[in-house]
Amino acid sequence: MHVLILGGTTEARRLAEALAARAPGLRVTTSLAGRVAAPRRPPGEVRVGGFGGAEGLAGWMLAQGVDALIDATHPFARTISLNAARAARITHVPLLAVRRPGWVPGPGDTWHEADSLEAAARLLPGLGRRVFLTTGRTGLAAFAALDDLWFLARSVEAPAAPCPRHMRVVLDRGPFTLDAERELLRAHRIDVLVTKDSGGAATAPKLAAAREAGVPVVIVRRPPAPEGVPVVQGPDQAARWITESALG
């Protein structure tokens, strides 16, 4: 039996590890988009690069005899999630989405929700002048016109233009510690944080640091999973679904 995991997340890697431990005879392929030069490779087979849309993904699944498809991509990887849903319909292969729980504001948090990066950018001038931008390297164009603000942008790899005019880039990969996030806010005199609602513990300390410092947070809401696709919150649930439900 062959399981294809659309990966690039901690959850995808942990799912591949769980399947290797629970079902060593199972063929597991993890697909990585190839946007990061040195990704953390999971156990099993690894495929790097795009498929050519939903039809290309469906063709690959049929050619490789895929029996179950797991969408364990980033919560904001909307295009590949839609392609996965369409490919599953074309091939009649069962599909499951893994989505880590989103963050929830707590006492002392000052959150401003936005539906897009562009909407987040429109909120910033009224909230602060020194921005900690943690939305990834591919969305910086939404903030490029804000010449009156200063940005500290953090990403795994260097972003490409267009970018904000006044910006410093920090190349780093989580998990991050609360002490380090506190120091980052202090050292750069950050007075507003922008993030996507990615969820998970690896990058959550920035929210605690912002709460302690009284720094407002602009948080971009995540898109929903495609209609009709069942969703679980973690790799253990997905492993059970594969071993007990999808593959009988």
CATH number, domain of 44, equals 3.40.50.720
State how far the alpha carbon of 76 is from the alpha carbons of 36, 80, 100, 108, 179, in Å: 16, 10, 12, 26, 27
Q: Are residues 126 and 208 located together in one domain of the fold?
A: yes
Residue 52 lies in a domain: yes
Predicted pLDDT at 246:
54
Range of the domain at 128: 111-220
Binned at pLDDT 50, 70 and 90, residue 201 comes out as confident
Per-residue pLDDT for 54 more than 90? yes
pLDDT > 70: percent of the chain: 96
pLDDT value of position 38: 62
pLDDT at 35: 65
Among candidate residues 76, 122, 136, 120, the one with its CA nearest the CA of residue 102: 76
Question: Does any domain span residue 106?
Answer: no
Residues 157 and 238 in one domain: no
Whether residue 248 has pLDDT greater than 60: no
Residues 177 and 124 both lie in one domain: yes
Answer yes or no: do 182 and 134 share one domain. yes
Summary mean pLDDT of the chain: 93
Reply yes or no on whether the pLDDT at 160 is more than 90: no
| Count: domains in the chain | 2
Write the pLDDT tens digit of every residue in 81-125: 999 999 999 999 999 999 999 999 999 999 999 999 999 999 999
**What is the tens place of the pLDDT at every residue in 162-171?**
999 999 999 9
Instruction: Please report the pLDDT score of residue 247 as a whole number.
Output: 57
Q: Is residue 61 a part of any domain in this protein? A: yes
Taking CA atoms, 194 is separated from 103, 170, 212, 216, in Å, by 14, 15, 16, 9
Both structure tokens of 92: 């009649």
Tell me: pLDDT of 137 over 90.
Answer: no
Q: Say if residue 156 is in the same domain as residue 232.
A: no
Check whether residue 30 and residue 123 sit in a common domain.
no
Residue 206, CA distances (Å) to 170, 186, 189, 200, 224 in order: 14, 12, 14, 12, 24
The whole-number average pLDDT for the span 135-162 is 92
